[in-house]
Amino acid sequence: MKALVVEDDQVHRLFLEKMLEPFGEIHVAENGREALDSFIQAMVDNEPFNLVCLDIAMPEMDGLETLKQIRKVETQKKDQRVKVIMTTGHDEGGNVAEAFLSQCDAYLLKPVDRSLLLRNLQDFGLV
């Protein structure tokens, strides 16, 4: 599995990175713009990500906009859809609804529960 962890908070970024490390190659980005650049470059290199863990509240470009841009790039390139898990520290119904409308595959509250993350990875066929 090749994963991209997108999180502006260093503690949460390291936490997710450590949870995912046993399952594959992990890349990190601190904001949505950096994530989108990494996502596109991975596609250009023909080494796309299998998973993106994407925080909602970030500077530069928030997670919801980043997800919309990722889906737009996939549609343009007619590429396979990456699995996206949205993460947030806020349990807000509006964000959850918008995340699923933007085509996320799962939504987890922070701090991310390891067993829930692993269940999603299993459901996605990534582990």
- The structural domains of the chain, ordered by start, are 7-47+55-110 (3.40.50.2300)
How far is it, in rounded angstroms, from Cα 112 to Cα 53?
Answer: 11
- What pLDDT, in 10s, does the model give residues 43-102? 999 999 999 999 998 888 999 999 999 999 999 887 789 999 999 887 665 666 677 666
Q: Rounded to an integer, what distance in angstroms lies between the CA atom of residue 40 and that of residue 126? A: 21
> Residue 95 CA to chain centroid, in angstroms?
15
Q: What is the pLDDT of residue 93?
A: 58
User: What pTM, to 2 d.p., does this model score?
Assistant: 0.92
Q: Residue 73, class by beta-carbon neighbours within 10 Å (0-12 exposed, 13-18 middle, 19+ buried)?
A: middle
pLDDT digits (tens, 9 = 90+) for 98-118: 776 668 999 998 899 999 999
| pLDDT value of residue 22 | 97
